[in-house]
Chain A
């Protein structure tokens, strides 16, 4: 299905124009300059920054990592945790958010609990969840789930409540049944909020999984970074950090891609 979606709307000329332009050139120049300054700082032993492993050292260590199975297993484990926790958060959060957004009784019954739970950062849940979930894997999935869950639910409730009354009225007048109003009006009107909730939630999810892995796990990119620190393999710390950055960026890009496919009317210009 994904390939069909890609094939359907892919414009090579537009894509090339989007990539090969002055903004991209500037961006690449900035990264190159940053790397050179970093390398120089290390070589010249500038205080503090000079203690960071040089890009050349990182590159050398990266070569070794890229062929190591353990490095890729870390990727796999982190991604699996993100995927399961995040998907679960959407599967439970989207219907619950819609229910609370559209039904006043449900909202008044459930929302106060959310208001109490929301200010607790997901990471504060780590000790408790390690205790009450049977395995540390489950406790990490749970914490990841929480990170995505609150964001998506709160966004949907906000989105559903701010639907313009004229759309509902117009739909009623035009003879919609209750299910038409939900599927053809309420749901599409809330979709942009769902996408925003997913995008923000994905960012939070990566922050949460990395920290949870450092505390409670024996695998994953967060653990890789932490173990490198404990073992004193400083270039590996940088590799771990960059891997987490790339993974987070790719997940967000994926969500943005899915989001813009779900809401074609928002990208009309």
Chain B
């Protein structure tokens, strides 16, 4: 990362994040809502982990805890063994709606990180910025303001604004939400291509199952609120990913397994028979509290049955069990 090459080397600087029984709630007294409880998982180095769960279950809260914007009430968030204490350029977030600075051009937005970190001379990061803009087809739009870009272009600009800092971990919080179906498919292709070329550690949050399986190495399924990991599904599809894999047997297996689990969670939330949104949320919370403990996966359950990346995994487990 400090060598300051102008190439993004595959897997370079990829980090590993460990989330250990994280709990987080908001509000006080009877109005307090527990959002996360006993949430544990590992973001494996150089892997694309997808987080999927019912809407409103606490996915964004989890991302905020990983990014360091919010401190968990209890539990630990570690990056390469070090506790996360606040936001930093080693973990970059791409937000639900665009967070490009409206007052900066595409070029200024993308080069923002290197400019404020003041580690590289301007000429070098300008060059790097142009390379990345080329990569996502935005060279001709370098002097445009975000409001002049289409939704898809904004997301691409935001992707490279994060990538230029070579973060150890990229946190994608439903980045393609609100895009039309065509643009979304295009963005998925762009994104998966970028990932496959650079192999950083990625967390991708979504509520779209098709998107989740298409992208994922590991698929984490969350429970209702208070959320924790219900199941980890390993997606054994080859890379580079192509859309025709969506018809493969492995894809169908993953989809079926995930659907079953998600359906179960959805049933729980409807079980109380509440019809309005408030009842629905209340039901999520109550049922979640009843069921959270038995269904939560702990870190020990995360060990992969395969041995391909077992070394890194054991290291993570070891680091956790030391405490």
The interface-forming segment of A30-38, A169-177, A196-204 is A169-177
Contact of B99 with A169 in the complex, beta carbons under 8 Å: yes
The interface-forming segment of B73-81, B84-92, B213-221 is B84-92
Shortest distance in angstroms between A181's beta carbon and chain B's nearest beta carbon? 9
Contact of A173 with B87 in the complex, beta carbons under 8 Å: yes
- The answer, among B87, B103, B148, for a CB contact under 8 Å with A263, is B103
Interface residues on B, range: 20 to 34
Shortest distance in angstroms between B174's beta carbon and chain A's nearest beta carbon? 13
> Given A166-B95, A166-B97, do A174 and B145 touch, yes or no (CB 8 Å)?
no
Contact of A265 with B116 in the complex, beta carbons under 8 Å: no
Contact of B116 with A173 in the complex, beta carbons under 8 Å: no
CB neighbours of A185 from chain B (8 A) = 101
CB neighbours of A104 from chain B (8 A) = none
Closest to B95 in A: A166
A-B contact count (CB 8 A): 69
Q: How far is the CA of A129 from the CA of B93 in the complex (A)?
A: 54
Shortest distance in angstroms between B304's beta carbon and chain A's nearest beta carbon? 30
Contact of B102 with A184 in the complex, beta carbons under 8 Å: no
Closest to A187 in B: B103
Shortest distance in angstroms between B267's beta carbon and chain A's nearest beta carbon? 34
Shortest distance in angstroms between A149's beta carbon and chain B's nearest beta carbon? 25
Closest to A262 in B: B103
Contact of B88 with A173 in the complex, beta carbons under 8 Å: yes
Contact of B147 with A265 in the complex, beta carbons under 8 Å: yes
Contact of A174 with B99 in the complex, beta carbons under 8 Å: no
Shortest distance in angstroms between B113's beta carbon and chain A's nearest beta carbon? 4
User: Residue-by-residue, is A145-178 near B (CB-CB < 8 Å gives 1, otherwise 0)?
Assistant: 0000000000000000000101101111111110
- B251 proximal to A (CB < 8 A): no
- A189 proximal to B (CB < 8 A): yes
Q: How far is the CA of A167 from the CA of B99 in the complex (A)?
A: 6
- B202 proximal to A (CB < 8 A): no
What count of chain A residues pass the 8 Å CB interface test? 23
> Given A170-B93, A173-B88, A268-B148, do A164 and B99 touch, yes or no (CB 8 Å)?
yes
- B67 proximal to A (CB < 8 A): yes
Contact of B145 with A265 in the complex, beta carbons under 8 Å: yes
Contact of B102 with A265 in the complex, beta carbons under 8 Å: yes
Shortest distance in angstroms between A146's beta carbon and chain B's nearest beta carbon? 31
Contact of B145 with A268 in the complex, beta carbons under 8 Å: yes
Determine which residue in B69, B87, B88, B104 has the highest number of CB atoms from chain A within 10 A of its CB, and name it: B87
Contact of A169 with B69 in the complex, beta carbons under 8 Å: yes
Q: How far is the CA of A167 from the CA of B102 in the complex (A)?
A: 9
Q: How far is the CA of A189 from the CA of B112 in the complex (A)?
A: 15
> Given A184-B116, A268-B145, A268-B148, do A173 and B93 touch, yes or no (CB 8 Å)?
yes
Q: How far is the CA of A263 from the CA of B69 in the complex (A)?
A: 29
Q: How far is the CA of A173 from the CA of B63 in the complex (A)?
A: 13
- B321 proximal to A (CB < 8 A): no
Contact of B116 with A176 in the complex, beta carbons under 8 Å: yes
CB neighbours of A264 from chain B (8 A) = 145
Shortest distance in angstroms between B138's beta carbon and chain A's nearest beta carbon? 16
Q: How far is the CA of A184 from the CA of B108 in the complex (A)?
A: 11
Q: How far is the CA of A185 from the CA of B100 in the complex (A)?
A: 11
- B117 proximal to A (CB < 8 A): yes
Shortest distance in angstroms between A193's beta carbon and chain B's nearest beta carbon? 13
- The answer, among B95, B148, B165, for a CB contact under 8 Å with A174, is B165
CB neighbours of A189 from chain B (8 A) = 103
Contact of B92 with A167 in the complex, beta carbons under 8 Å: no
> Given A169-B69, A169-B87, A265-B147, do A175 and B113 touch, yes or no (CB 8 Å)?
yes
Determine which residue in B89, B95, B101, B103 has the highest number of CB atoms from chain A within 10 A of its CB, and name it: B103
- A79 proximal to B (CB < 8 A): no
Closest to A185 in B: B101
- A188 proximal to B (CB < 8 A): yes
Shortest distance in angstroms between B4's beta carbon and chain A's nearest beta carbon? 15
Shortest distance in angstroms between B283's beta carbon and chain A's nearest beta carbon? 29
Closest to B173 in A: A166
> Given A177-B116, A180-B116, A268-B147, do A172 and B87 touch, yes or no (CB 8 Å)?
yes
Please report which residues of chain B, range 108-144, place their CB below 8 angstroms from some CB of chain A when the two chains form the complex: 112-113, 116-117, 144
CB neighbours of A228 from chain B (8 A) = none
Q: How far is the CA of A174 from the CA of B99 in the complex (A)?
A: 12
Contact of B89 with A175 in the complex, beta carbons under 8 Å: yes
- A247 proximal to B (CB < 8 A): no
- The answer, among A167, A174, A184, for a CB contact under 8 Å with B89, is A174
Closest 3 pairs (CB-CB, A-B): A188-B103, A166-B99, A174-B113
Could you list 24 A-B pairs, sorted by A, with CB under 8 Å? Answer: A166-B97, A166-B99, A167-B99, A169-B87, A170-B93, A171-B112, A171-B116, A172-B69, A173-B87, A173-B89, A173-B93, A174-B89, A174-B112, A174-B116, A174-B161, A174-B165, A176-B116, A177-B116, A185-B101, A188-B103, A188-B104, A265-B104, A265-B146, A268-B148
With A167-B101, A169-B95 given, name 6 new contacts (CB 8 A): A166-B99, A169-B99, A172-B86, A174-B113, A174-B116, A263-B103
